[in-house]
A and B are shown apart, each in its own frame.
Chain A
Amino acid sequence: GAGVSQTPSNKVTEKGKYVELRCDPISGHTALYWYRQSLGQGPEFLIYFQGTGAADDSGLPNDRFFAVRPEGSVSTLKIQRTERGDSAVYLCASSLTVTSGGTGELFFGEGSRLTVL
């Protein structure tokens, strides 16, 4: 498809388990973002990738959260030792960079809803 694809769309796990969430950005978009959206709240920044490298990971809440983008396309958000407070919708967005003619528009996927029991 032409849009940002996120899998799984829903994930239910038990406290303490490990979770991986995948994002497949729009082809050609070198900028990739992860955001977390809690119920009734706006998206909260987690991490920004420029190509393969994490240009800004200042939003990752603690060392249980980690994200990779090894080939500059697909990204995986990894959460270790999940806690109930991690329950949220995890949104991925991609965009063109400024140098590639980007205007700042973020293209979001539909999100992965994580529920930690």
Chain B
Amino acid sequence: QQQVKQSPQSLIVQKGGISIINCAYENTAFDYFPWYQQFPGKGPALLIAIRPDVSEKKEGRFTISFNKSAKQFSLHIMDSQPGDSATYFCAASGNNFNKFYFGSGTKLNVKP
């Protein structure tokens, strides 16, 4: 059973547009929700993360929106740039960080 469900599988956005990636989870024990960015041939790197006590977190052009009651969270990339073209993974963990569950990934292509 997939603990974190991610959509869409792929996304094409024009330069300057907004990219939106969605994730849903079932386990209410999850306490930490990061987003990772992965370029081809590289390992994933943390982009931004949120705890369930806040509904939104913004860092530069990247924003996480969190809906605790719906058990959903999303990543918004404002003013998308070609350099943002990568695969994005949402993830979830309990507060001890022993195990992270990753979504299946969204391949983002930002067209110039």
Contact = CB atoms under 8 A, between A and B. Distances in A.
The judgment on whether A and B are partners is yes
Interface of A: 4, 31, 33, 35, 40-45, 48, 50, 55-56, 58-59, 91, 93, 95, 97-98, 102-106, 108-111
Contact of B49 (A31, A56, A102, A105): A105
A42 B102 contact: yes
9 contacts: A33-B100, A42-B89, A42-B105, A45-B101, A105-B46, A106-B34, A109-B43, A110-B42, A111-B43
Contacts, number: 62
B43 A98 contact: no
B96 A98 contact: yes
Interface residues of B, number: 25
B103 A91 contact: no
B81 interface: no
Nearest to B89: A42
Interface string B86-112: 000101010111111111110000000
Contact of B45 (A50, A104, A108): A108
Given A104-B49, A108-B45, A41 B97 contact: no
B89 A108 contact: no
Given A41-B104, A48-B98, A104 B93 contact: yes
The 4 closest A-B pairs by CB, nearest first: A108-B43, A42-B102, A105-B46, A43-B102
Nearest to A89: B43
B100 A45 contact: yes
Contacts of A43: 44, 89, 100, 102
Nearest to B107: A40
Contacts of B34: 104-106
Contacts of A35: 102
Nearest to B42: A110
Interface string B15-44: 000000000000000001010100001111
B6 interface: yes
Contacts of B97: 31, 95, 97-98, 102, 104
Contacts of B102: 35, 42-44
